[in-house]
Amino acid sequence: MRRAVYPGTFDPVTNGHLDIIRRAAQQFDEVVVGVLCNSKKSPLFSIDERVRMLQEVTKDIPGVRVDSFDGMTVNFVRACGAGVIIRGLRAVTDFENELQMAQTNRVIAPDIDTMLMVTSLEYAYLSSTIVKELASHGEAIERFVPPYAAEKIKEKYKEIIQK
């Protein structure tokens, strides 16, 4: 079985992420979407909320499963029995960081390859940060995220405003 891991914080999942997930699922028998619990970031959604959101929006994509992890990505990849890390590239500015990460992973885990996938042009500008910024100002986000994610994002900002 050819298995790959697509790691990220997915806070929140965007249509750009789904683009990469769908296309990766066509290349591999199984794609594990690894939701990173990164203690250096202050996410809008908890790890459980992000996992549930991704499970919901990927439920109709064959060969995709969602799991959470913390620590080194290469250790998670090995634990999943995968040999490939999928990373998305939106722009040239992403390339330098992704290349450095891929080369470091290759040194510490020579048995794991990194596949860089260029995001479809329609999502090249899109990031979770942009979605959160728009949502925090009450702007429409429906064209940037799956409908289920849009609902959850709006609910989250309503909770924040009420506090």
- Catalytic residue of the set 17, 87, 132, 152: 17
The count of C-alpha atoms lying within 13 angstroms of the C-alpha of 61, restricted to the half-sphere facing its C-beta, is 25
Catalytic (active site) residue 17:
yes
57 — phi, psi (to 5°)?
-80, -10
Alpha helices (H) in 59-144, listed in sequence order: 73-79, 92-108, 128-136
Residues 6+ apart with CB under 8 A from 52: none
How many residues does the structure list for the chain?
A: 163
Element (H, E) at 14: none
Q: Is it true that the peptide bond before 43 is cis, omega within 30 degrees of 0?
A: no
Around Cβ 44, how many Cβ atoms within 10 Å?
20
Please identify which of the residues 50, 87, 90, 132 carries the catalytic annotation: 90
128 is an active site residue: yes
Catalytic center residues:
17, 41, 90, 128
